[in-house]
A = this chain, B = another copy of it.
Amino acid sequence: MKKTNFYQPVKIGVLGLGTVGSGVTRMLAHNAGEIRRRAGREIIITHAAARNLNTITANTIGIKLTEQALNVVQDPEISMILELIGGYEPARELILCALDNGKHVVTANKALIAKYGNEIFAAARMARKIVGFEAAVAGGIPIIKALREGLAGNQIEWVAGIINGTANFILSEMQDKGRDFPEAMAEAQRLGYTENDPTLDIKGIDAAHKLTILASIAFGIPLRSEKVYTEGIGGITYEDVAYATRLGYSIKHLGIARRGENGVQLRVHPTFIPKRQLLANVNGVMNAIMVKGNAVGQSLFYGAGAGAEPTASAVVADIIDIVRNLKTDPESRVPYLGFQPEALLDLPVIPINEVETACYLRILALDRPGVLADITRILANHGISIEAFMQKETHLTASKVPVVLLINPVKEEKMNKAISAIESLDSILAPIMRIRLEYLDT
């Protein structure tokens, strides 16, 4: 038997030495012994590119540094590139160039894979190289591997996940500490949980990128980031969180991909989920993804979604996978999206208007007789049925009263019409708050 220790080390070039890049450098060094025991070879970073070499804080002893990423990508010594820059360009261009130069690629770039993955994977197939992207979704949770391989015997029915830690932290703060959105948001910023541009997290764009990837590998469909219905958490008030608790629910910002007879649903939005679900009890910056397969039933994968070390964990797992497969025929490797490229199905994405969900409504109304009768009449006229109802006891001094309803599953379009009709009543004082509700049971 060959002595694996006699193999040459695998040499890697890193693009980007920010939080994740430093984390990967640190983990590869710190866990070097364990990694060699697993991979059978030494894995070392020999080259790295950073925008500004003067601001690097990572330990770069023994690493050849440059500000020219292209030099690393084209260096003949290197067999693998880690793209840890983020953003669309020059990341996309550098990855394509690396593949063109015969290098395998590992990336943590969810935005890039969600938007340009189809192009990048096609280029990788041409180049007969591997692109690993486990770190692009829920860093600390090996969910890409679970879906592409571990659950490969299943027809996946749906995936529902807490895939943005910042949004989950804010909602958890509101629930646990009774804070309103702006306060919880400020706390997230104070703790460094938000990006420079917090919009990506708060508006659900980051979650939509990750959902795009999850849906592709769950159902074997091309990446279609532009088709994801996306709603953020900016509109949630403490009042909504408190009602959710009283009704036995948590509000979580979920990415949901569901396959049905007419196509797939791809949606990201705040969601009421029953408190008894494990997913409802995933708090703080943690991520969790629930998967329903037709053989396995429900399973859940929980872990850190972001941060230097958890992301490094996913990047290094991809590196080890590639090292184990350096000599493997590309046809024998796990396909990029878990399905053979020619077997991808471009299933239609169902427009949100045609999606059927249950929901929570909070209606601020004048406190006068007949208001509730008006609301329920409109709902009945639209064929919408009420699952539960809650009206706060009226105070003598109050002139307005919140009416809270849980609505049975109904098509979005119908619900929108009913909401408009109710909002046009004289007695309704503010836009209606609607939060979709998922039982996650079937």
List residues of A whose CB falls within 8 A of some B CB. 1-4, 23, 27, 30-31, 34-40, 125, 134, 140-142, 145-146, 149-155, 220, 278, 281-282, 293-304, 309-310, 312-317, 319-321, 324-329, 331-335, 338-343, 345
Contacts and interface: CB of A to CB of B under 8 A. Distances in A.
B153 A319 contact: yes
A38 B302 CA distance: 25
Closest 10 CB pairs of A and B: A142-B150, A153-B316, A299-B303, A37-B343, A295-B313, A300-B302, A296-B313, A140-B296, A40-B340, A152-B320
A321 B335 CA distance: 12
A278 to B, nearest CB: 6
A324 B334 contact: yes
B310 A152 contact: no
A220 B140 contact: no
Nearest to A343: B37
A314 B151 CA distance: 7
A343 B324 CA distance: 15
A323 to B, nearest CB: 9
B342 A1 contact: yes
Contact of A149 (B1, B31, B142): B142
A37 to B, nearest CB: 4
A125 B2 CA distance: 12
Interface centre among A38, A278, A293, by most chain B C-beta atoms within 10 angstroms, is A38
B153 A27 contact: yes
A41 B188 CA distance: 49
Contacts of A331: 2, 40, 327
Given A149-B142, A295-B27, A313-B296, A302 B303 contact: no
Contacts of A326: 332
B31 A154 contact: yes
Interface centre among A281, A314, A317, by most chain B C-beta atoms within 10 angstroms, is A317
A312 B154 CA distance: 9
Given A295-B310, A309-B296, A332-B326, A301 B301 contact: yes
A152 B27 CA distance: 11
Given A310-B297, A316-B295, A342-B4, A321 B36 contact: no
A166 B315 CA distance: 37
A146 B155 CA distance: 20
A339 to B, nearest CB: 5
Given A300-B302, A327-B329, 8 more contacts: A1-B125, A3-B342, A40-B340, A40-B343, A146-B146, A153-B313, A278-B302, A328-B329
A4 B125 CA distance: 15
Contacts of A152: 35, 38-39, 316-317, 320-321
Contacts of A325: 328, 332
A309 to B, nearest CB: 5
B295 A303 contact: no
Interface centre among A2, A142, A312, by most chain B C-beta atoms within 10 angstroms, is A142
A44 to B, nearest CB: 14
Contact of A299 (B3, B302, B309): B302
B297 A300 contact: no
Contacts of A295: 23, 27, 31, 309-310, 312-313, 316
10 contacts: A1-B341, A30-B294, A140-B297, A145-B149, A153-B313, A295-B312, A295-B313, A295-B316, A299-B303, A324-B332
B278 A282 contact: yes
A36 B152 CA distance: 10
A134 B1 CA distance: 26
Contacts of A345: 37
A317 B2 contact: no
A82 to B, nearest CB: 12
A368 B290 CA distance: 54
A304 to B, nearest CB: 5
B154 A150 contact: no
Contacts of A340: 4, 37-40
Contacts of A141: 299
